[in-house]
Structure formats: structure tokens, C-alpha cells
Amino acid sequence: MKIDKFYFTVILSICFTLLSAQNKTLELKNSDIQIGIDYKNKNYLVFNGFEVFYKKPFQSQEWETIPYKHNELPKTKDFPYNYFNIKGKNYLVYTGCGEVYEFRNDSIIRIDNSFQHKNQFGSCSFVYKDEIYYFGGYGLFTYKNILTKFDFKTKEWELIKYNDYKNIPQPRDKAISFLEGDYFYLLSGYSENYETDQVTGAGKQLFDIWKLNLKTKVWEYLGDLKDKSILYAMSDNTNSYQNQNSFYYDNNCIFQLDFENNKVNYFKQENKFFLSGFEKYNYENNEIIYSLKSTDESVRNNKIIIESFKNYSGKIVKTENLISSFNSTYILILFIILLVAIGLYFTSKRKKRTEYENCITFKSNTFFHKNKPINNLSTDEINLLSFFFSNYNNPIQMNEVVDFISKNDDTSYNTLTKKKDTILNSLKQKLAFVLDINEDDLFIYQKNNEDKRIKEIQLNPQYFNFKN
């Protein structure tokens, strides 16, 4: 009887071990990864560093850890490379555009004659006619709307010219994109934000949708996104991918986009899609591979998960229009409103400005609002406003404003910049209160024509009137 119990225990242990092995999940200690699908050799690939990579055959349940035989990638803290599978070959391309590496025989070999451009971070990358393309991105202090292509013959990148530059998308990075036949679809992204003092940093989110004909190189504006909540809390790991002839985008839930029929389907599974990233769809097995980061924000662990796409996506919970649309009645109303607005504009231009309009007038070294002097400004605020009026018709660089405030002041530039912000913000609050308008409407902000890194400021002539 004791022997029977012993064999039963052994058999149970073996079964448990086999079951555990069949469900083995690859868990990595950081989030700097890249996922690939090698269709020629029927393998899933995970790149996580510069010493080893991970491989799992499509039909296997076990991940293999394999040391590189040779690796020419320059070692960095992260893993800044995009993965591509073209004609049975595997490539890793620098995310900022430039360096191109081929992964073969457990080695990574550099094949390009280029360099790290560092000009298209956050670009949309895709493969068209077995060639690698990058659209847009951010680098060298500017957002881009260029299209570049890697030439496998010359081993160099080339700029693709559009046939109509009058109708092209605004420069951007971190956009959502899809490829269908000869058409490249572009949705959202981030671009220049003229409402902030920062030259770099978070840009302004866009909601437009475009289509590029890759044969004619002509862009077409399709409209604006109707439900802007689709783009809620976008991150660097936000991903778009294609399942056969359908387009999908993950961000807190799955969105299936149908450009032709102007529809978007919503799939919802709680606490799943917001944490997933690096999704790749396996069209041979109808599976999806992705990373699922830990819910503990103090660690950067990621699990690599493979499951059927049906199980991953769940069921459709609702369907909405993808693009905002207007019927003929709305268009007619907008046309009438436009005509009325144009009429009012030209009528107002013909009227002579008077001192009783809602603007601040500077005359005889005093500021007035509706013929009443403004007496609540400090000496620093009066001096700064006088400086703006002395340059009434000319934009002023922000560093010039700091230089003006720094007269007879030997403190550091950072301290003077903070002082400038304090005086300017206080001045804006007081003037906005007098005029009863939004603070952001008081000044016009713009980029310097010669150097886009330099920000300029100027009084808004709508609310300020200069009289000698």
C-alpha cells in the first residue's frame, strides 16, 4: 500500500512538472525589449540585451536562452531598435533612423553604410515592397513629416519626395499608422506646442487622419478622429498592428479601425491592454505575442505572453464612427456662418478704434484701460510692459526678455529666468483681470524663423494699442 502511494506521488509530480513546462512564461527583468517573428524558421524572438536573446519555436512551449555568437550592436542602457522580417530575413534598425543590422545564425551583423541619424525618434516604421520606411519622428529639436527609405543596394537611406507639398500632414512623432496595399494610413501623434515655454518636452496631441498613396506620393486628408478618448494616455509602448485585413490599436482596450467604412469597434478586457506593449501578430497561427509589464511600478519586470488573438481581444462591446462627418445641412450652416463672420470682420476693420474698446493703451508713459489709468502694477511689471510696448511691432526673443530684467543684477541666468517667469505671470494675471480675458490671449508666441529652438513673444494687438 505504501509503494502504491509512492508511485502515485511520483506520477503526480511528473504530471505537474510537465504541465508547468507547457505553460512556461518568459519573464524579463527590464522593459527594454524588442519582439520579432521569424516566419522562415517558425520562431518567436525576443531581444533583451547584448549578451543573449530568447527563442521559442511556434509549436514549442519552451523558451530557449541563446548567447550571441557575434553581436555588433553598440551597447546602450536601453535597446533602441525596431524589428523587421523581410523575405525570410530578420533586421534590427535604429529607432532614430540610420544603422541597420541583420540577425542571422545567432549573430547580429551591421549591413548599412549609414550612421545614427538621431532624427526620427518615435517615427512610424513599416515595410513596403520589401523596403524599410520611416515616416515623421522627432530629432534635432524639431518634429518631422518626412518619409525616408533604406536602399538595400546602396546600404544608405534616401529621402522620398512628395508630389504635392501644399497638402501634407503636420510634423509629428508617436503617431498610429497602418499599411494596406499601396496606402499608408496615419492617425494622431504629437507636434509643436507653441503654448509652452519649453523648446523640448511633451508636444501637442493631434487628432487628424491622413492617407498616403505610396505610388503617387500624394497625401489625402480624411478628417478628424470623432472619439478622442481612443488616444487616452498614449505611451511609448502604445502599439498598432494588423490582423489579416483588419487594423488594431491597443490603449486601455483594443480598437479595430475600419477606414473604408468609417467605423471603429471597441474590445474591452479589464486591466490588460493598458499594461501590454510590443504587440506582434502571427498571421500563420492567428496568435499574438506581447509583453505584459508588472503592476508594481517599483519594478520593471515584463512577461512575454503568447495566446490566440481571439482569446486576447475578447468581444466587441460597442461600435462608433471613426471620423467626424458632416451632412449637407451642417455644411450649409457652416458656410453661412463663415459668410457672416467674414462680413463682420471687414465691417469691424472699417471702424475706427476708440479708447473705449477693450484694450490697454500706452500714451504719455501711462497705461490706460477705457480712459482710466491702470494703477495696480508693480515697478517691475511697469518696466516689463513698457519694454513690450517699445517693441510693439517686433517679436522679442525670450532671452532678450531675461536680459532686460537682468539689468544691474549679477545673479545666475537660471535665477533670472525664474524671476522673468514670476514677473511675467503676475503681469498676465493682472492684465487678464482688467480685460476680463484668458491669460493665454494676451501675447502671441512663435518660433524664430531662422532657429526653431528660439521662442519669441509679442503683444497681441487685439488687446494693446500703442499711441505716441
Q: Where are the domains of the chain?
A: 26-321, 330-466
The two beta strands, 302-308 and 34-38, are: unpaired
Give yes or no for a contact between 132 and 150, defined as CB atoms under 8 angstroms apart: yes
pLDDT at 18: 35
Beta-carbon-side half-sphere exposure of residue 300 (alpha carbons within 13 Å): 7
- Other residues' Cβ atoms within 10 Å of the Cβ of residue 280: 19
405-429: average pLDDT: 84
Q: 48 versus 245: which is more confidently predicted?
A: 48
pLDDT confidence of 297, banded at 50, 70, 90? low
pLDDT at 49: 86
- C-alpha to C-alpha distance for 12 and 347, rounded to whole angstroms: 90
pLDDT confidence of 6, banded at 50, 70, 90? very low
pLDDT at 327: 44
249-258: average pLDDT: 83
What is the fold of 330-466?
Answer: Arc Repressor Mutant, subunit A (1.10.10)
315-363 pLDDT, tens per residue? 888 999 999 865 444 556 677 888 888 878 776 655 554 444 788 888 8
pLDDT at 21: 36
430-457: average pLDDT: 87
354-403 pLDDT, tens per residue? 444 788 888 878 888 888 898 889 988 888 888 888 888 889 998 888 88
Q: Is the pLDDT of residue 22 over 60?
A: no
Q: How far is residue 280 from each of residues 18, 106, 255, 296, 399, measured CA to CA in Å?
A: 28, 21, 15, 24, 47
Q: Is the pLDDT of residue 8 over 50?
A: no
Q: Is the pLDDT of residue 17 over 80?
A: no
- C-alpha to C-alpha distance for 14 and 29, rounded to whole angstroms: 29
- C-alpha to C-alpha distance for 424 and 412, rounded to whole angstroms: 18
Own/partner contacts of 385-394, CB < 8 Å, gap of 24 or more, are: 385/427, 385/431, 386/362, 388/457, 388/458, 388/459, 388/464, 389/362, 389/459, 389/464, 389/466, 391/458, 392/459, 392/461, 392/464, 392/466, 394/458
45-66 pLDDT, tens per residue? 999 889 999 999 999 999 999 9
Instruction: State phi, psi for 84 to the nearest 5 degrees.
Output: -140, 145
Q: What is the pTM of this model?
A: 0.65
- Chain-centroid distance of CA 353 in Å reads 44
- C-alpha to C-alpha distance for 398 and 401, rounded to whole angstroms: 5
pLDDT at 465: 83
pLDDT at 269: 67
pLDDT at 450: 81
Sign of CA dihedral 386, 387, 388, 391: positive
- C-alpha to C-alpha distance for 173 and 139, rounded to whole angstroms: 10
Helix 398-405 and helix 379-390, axial crossing angle in degrees, nearest 10: 140
Q: Is the pLDDT of residue 192 over 50?
A: yes
Q: 120 versus 239: which is more confidently predicted?
A: 120
Q: 6 versus 145: which is more confidently predicted?
A: 145
Q: Is the pLDDT of residue 100 over 90?
A: yes
Give percent of the chain above pLDDT 90: 41
pLDDT at 12: 40
- C-alpha to C-alpha distance for 293 and 301, rounded to whole angstroms: 6
Please report, to the nearest 10 degrees, the dihedral formed by the alpha carbons of residues 121, 176, 268, 23 taken in order. Answer: -50
Which stretch of DSSP H or E encloses residue 350? helix 328-350
Same topology between domain 26-321 and domain 330-466? no
26-321 CATH pick, 3.30.450.20, 3.30.230.70, 3.30.1370.100, 2.120.10.80: 2.120.10.80
- C-alpha to C-alpha distance for 246 and 29, rounded to whole angstroms: 33
Q: How far is residue 120 from each of residues 97, 112, 171, 214, 267, measured CA to CA in Å?
A: 6, 17, 11, 19, 32
Give percent of the chain above pLDDT 70: 84
110-148 pLDDT, tens per residue? 999 999 999 999 999 999 999 999 999 999 989 999 999
